[in-house]
Structure 1
Amino acid sequence: MGREVVPATTVRVRVADAMKRPGASFAAWLFACAGVVAPLGSAHAAMNFCAAPAMQTSERTSAAPIAQGLVKRVAARLNDQPKALARLHTEGTLPHEGIYDQSVEAQQDLELMRDAALVWRATGDERYLRLVDRFLLAWTTTYQPSFNPIDETHFDSLILAYDMTASALPVKTRNAATAFIAKLANGYVQRVDAQPRPLSGTYRNNWESHRVKLVAMAAFTLDDRKLINAAQRLFIEQIGENVAADGATVDFAERDALHYVTYDLEPLVVAALAARRHNRNWLGERAQNGASLQLALDWLVPYALGEKTHEEFVHSSVAFDAKRREAGLPGYSGPWDPKNSAQLFHLVARLSGRYASVALRLSPMPPAWLAVCLPLPAR
């Protein structure tokens, strides 16, 4: 059966009626939105990364408590104006150096876009769609890709925002967004393919994981067959280059830090979640050396559970790690805190239920955006 497509005016009436009832809760608000993903649902982005079609009863129940906080935060910023920049740069710099602070502030726009799209998806309230439209158009017509994946990794939030709202965006915004997303993804593919094989340096460490994430999300959102094939090829190549047969990553060897294992694996999990929407199982996909994303995650599990511990960055081969430690940035010395992998394991729990208990042990609730996007772990 197809999902119900409900006009926006009907959505607003349903929500208002639900909230007028005595003792109305935020759960009632979500239930009022049952069956509504977005008005104008005939045309849509191809990926639908977040739970689709509309939330099931159990999903709405799970999402309600944390979604309330998300809605309040976005509602407070409905009148914000975009801080779009032509360039972002945080990689290799400390706070207050160069444009680091300005970039961090501007990056908040990308997450706001994503969160506003999630709230619009749940409510049908067009004020949130207008926020997404305003911010998407500003960023996709201002920003010039540098193809530095550390500086640009947060553009996954922009891609998600487009994915959830493409059906209802004005043509001008939709065209600008699709052109930008395609330019970003194709640029990364071209740069990776121009490298000599076997890949080395930042083309096999965490940088490449972030490239793969952006390419995969763009490919499945745009439903671009050529990009999808490239994304799968680069994903498998990165697994083979980055993950050893025992599950240890290149980043652990280079940085002597579980911080970078998490940073390396999280974008690969997001890429696998994008692929899952097209019935592709990248979690267990094996490279020629027998390695897989699942194998790398299983390697990390004992540390996440506290069965093993690790002193961070003691033998890192990267000078910048020592610079950050000397600057007093948290996490660059001392024992690794397993809670730093909470988002990673809540994400991977959406791929495989076998990781749900690890995620819940690290944090009883997933990040707010994920609780609304994909409320329940996989079975």
Structure 2
Amino acid sequence: MGQAADTKLTARASLAACLFACAGVFVPVDSAWAAMNLCAAPAMQTSERTSAAPIAQGLVKRVAARLNDQPKPLARLHTEGTLPHEGIYDESLAAEQDLALMRDAALVWRATGDERYLRLVDRFLFAWATTYQPSFDPIDETHFDAMILAYDMTASALPVKTRNAASAFIAKLANGYVERVDAQPRPLTGTYRNNWESHRVKLVAMAAFTLDDRKLINAAQRLFVEQIGANVAPDGATVDFTERDALHYVTYDLEPLVIAALAARRHNRNWLVLRAQNGATLQLALDWLMPYALGEKTHEEFVHSSVAFDAKRREAGLPGYAGRWDPKDGAELFHLAARLSGRYTNVALRLAPTPPAWLAVCLPLPAR
């Protein structure tokens, strides 16, 4: 083995040792790495390791404690429009934890090469891909972004059976959403222009770039631009703010669009400043929210919402559906946005000193 190869293996082993110190284990690093569309390249730079390590250790601990978990896939998830304890809300919420676990396990495998985490991803991916039947309700299915990301990070190392099942599922999900949006009359209205559409666009974009499907990629960009034009006004205000009178829904609307833009960025496409026909951009929408995130403006939530379910949730005592918006609720959005542009780094750090653990390991450093 040459000196360069020795150096590369030593670097990977050092990272693995760092991350696994808290778990008390160390497994030699394998050379099989999957190509990624959203997360940073596997061979993280020293500065990225330093930035990610403390949070990564916590992520490793949490996933290590669940290494022997078995998947509990459901054929259907449903939380949209329901309160806790109604219908299958609680069961769906519990099952969704599987999706986050496979993403986190994929991140730990990516960072360490420990095959036990790849095996966890393998069994969870296969179980969900062969059990779940898409309903094409984007609110119920938005958390499948975690499953797509798990596949994206591990695809090249998965058994053929799992890779084929997962890729077929992801393609079915994305194409189904595209077909449903394309069947709508123009201009798009209702849930085809509010936050629901943002979540559709996110799933389509992540699937498209993960599968490297040219037709889907073109559809994803087309739908992204259309959603910016339908949802964002030239001054940056969103349809969801008008309908719901709540910054809660502005963040819920913009987060999926930022994630879609992050997936596109890995393929050298800058969707942050991609301009719709009305002149709106994702950047304008984020900039509109910034004064509220910085505390320069305040907002009483849901006072004039036109959606009856908002009042129902307020009456049920769910947090966040009355009173002044807490800027910290925008922390994840701005930490995501900071990975697109350095203009959002300061506000992200002001809202929370560290990003969510999965994001800190996926993309340790903000953009410049």
| Alpha-carbon distance in structure 1 between the residues aligned to 2:206 and 2:37 | 10
| Alpha-carbon distance in structure 2 between the residues aligned to 1:258 and 1:183 | 33
Q: What's 2:192 paired with?
A: 203
Amino acid at match of 1:306: G
- Confirm or deny that 1:183 pairs with 2:172: yes
Q: What's 1:295 paired with?
A: 284
Counterparts in 2 of 1:55 and 1:28: CA distance versus 1, 3 Å: farther
Task: Please tell me whether the aligned partners of residues 189 and 215 of structure 1 are also in contact (alpha carbons under 8 angstroms).
Answer: yes
Sequence identity of aligned pairs in percent? 85
* 1:361 corresponds to which of 331, 346, 350: 350
- Confirm or deny that 1:157 pairs with 2:146: yes
| Alpha-carbon distance in structure 1 between the residues aligned to 2:91 and 2:240 | 28
Task: Please tell me whether the aligned partners of residues 27 and 64 of structure 1 are also in contact (alpha carbons under 8 angstroms).
Answer: no
Where does the alignment leave 5 or more consecutive residues of structure 1 unmatched? 20-24
Deviation at 1:53, TM superposition (A): 4.3
Q: Could you give the per-residue CA deviations for residues 237-296 of structure 1, whole angstroms, max 9, x where no partner exists?
A: 000000001100000000000000000000000000000000000000000100000000
| Alpha-carbon distance in structure 2 between the residues aligned to 1:132 and 1:183 | 20
| Alpha-carbon distance in structure 1 between the residues aligned to 2:234 and 2:19 | 47
Task: Please tell me whether the aligned partners of residues 91 and 150 of structure 1 are also in contact (alpha carbons under 8 angstroms).
Answer: yes
| Alpha-carbon distance in structure 2 between the residues aligned to 1:371 and 1:330 | 27
- Confirm or deny that 1:341 pairs with 2:330: yes
Q: What's 1:22 paired with?
A: none
Matches within 5 A, 1:1-379: 14=13, 26=19, 39-41=31-33, 44-45=34-35, 47-379=36-368
Counterparts in 2 of 1:27 and 1:97: CA distance versus 1, 3 Å: closer
Deviation at 1:39, TM superposition (A): 2.6
| Alpha-carbon distance in structure 2 between the residues aligned to 1:5 and 1:103 | 46
Higher mean C-alpha displacement, 236-245 vs 49-58: 49-58
Where does the alignment leave 5 or more consecutive residues of structure 2 unmatched? none
Deviation at 1:202, TM superposition (A): 0.1
| Alpha-carbon distance in structure 1 between the residues aligned to 2:97 and 2:19 | 26
Counterparts in 2 of 1:284 and 1:95: CA distance versus 1, 3 Å: same
Counterparts in 2 of 1:377 and 1:260: CA distance versus 1, 3 Å: same
| Alpha-carbon distance in structure 2 between the residues aligned to 1:188 and 1:336 | 32
Question: Secondary structure of 1:161's match?
Answer: helix
Amino acid at match of 2:91: Q
Deviation at 1:13, TM superposition (A): 10
| Alpha-carbon distance in structure 1 between the residues aligned to 2:81 and 2:12 | 51
| Alpha-carbon distance in structure 1 between the residues aligned to 2:305 and 2:241 | 9
Question: Secondary structure of 1:283's match?
Answer: helix
Q: Could you give the per-residue CA deviations for residues 123-145 of structure 1, whole angstroms, max 9, x where no partner exists?
A: 10000000000000000000000
Counterparts in 2 of 1:5 and 1:237: CA distance versus 1, 3 Å: farther
Instruction: Quote the RMSD (CA, aligned, Å).
Output: 2.0
TM-score norm. by structure 2 comes to 0.94
Counterparts in 2 of 1:319 and 1:223: CA distance versus 1, 3 Å: same
Deviation at 1:49, TM superposition (A): 1.3
Task: Please tell me whether the aligned partners of residues 27 and 60 of structure 1 are also in contact (alpha carbons under 8 angstroms).
Answer: no
| Alpha-carbon distance in structure 2 between the residues aligned to 1:78 and 1:27 | 14
Deviation at 1:54, TM superposition (A): 1.2
Deviation at 1:236, TM superposition (A): 0.1
Deviation at 1:167, TM superposition (A): 1.1
